[in-house]
């Protein structure tokens, strides 16, 4: 899966670097919440969004998590699971 994701990112990066500065501000892309964004704005948003999730994933990997199978608290890295706690956060 990691290799597949890397190939997709490399392909997209290759296409992005061929865009002119004018193209980055000329084309509009729809976002379901933010509305229309320029290609440049969407790139900045995507970078921020991915980094935001990466930060939270790394933080959550260090927290203990309830293992339903063994009914015990184990670090997520040992169970391989990240659990939704129902309050808008993963734990």
Q: How do the pLDDT tens digits run along the chain, 91 residues long?
A: 778 888 988 998 999 999 999 999 999 999 999 999 999 999 999 989 988 888 888 887 777 665 556 656 555 444 444 444 444 444 4
Query: Going by C-beta distance under 8 Å and a sequence separation of 6 or more, which residues neighbour residue 36?
Result: 28, 29, 30
**pTM of the shown model:** 0.59
Tokens of 25: 């501000």
Nearest one of 14, 50, 18, 44 to 29, comparing CA atoms: 44
Q: 4 CB contacts (<8 Å, ≥6 apart)? A: none
Whether 66 and 83 have beta carbons less than 8 Å apart is answered as yes
């Amino acid at each position: 899966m990691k290799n597949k994701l890397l190939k997709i990112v490399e392909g997209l990066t290759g296409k992005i670097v061929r865009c002119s500065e004018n193209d980055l501000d000329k084309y509009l892309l729809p976002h379901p919440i933010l509305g229309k964004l320029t290609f440049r704005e969407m790139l900045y948003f995507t970078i921020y969004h991915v980094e935001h999730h990466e930060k939270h994933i790394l933080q959550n990997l260090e927290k203990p998590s309830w293992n339903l199978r063994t009914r015990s608290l184990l670090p997520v890295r040992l169970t391989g699971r990240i659990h939704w706690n129902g309050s808008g956060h993963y734990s």
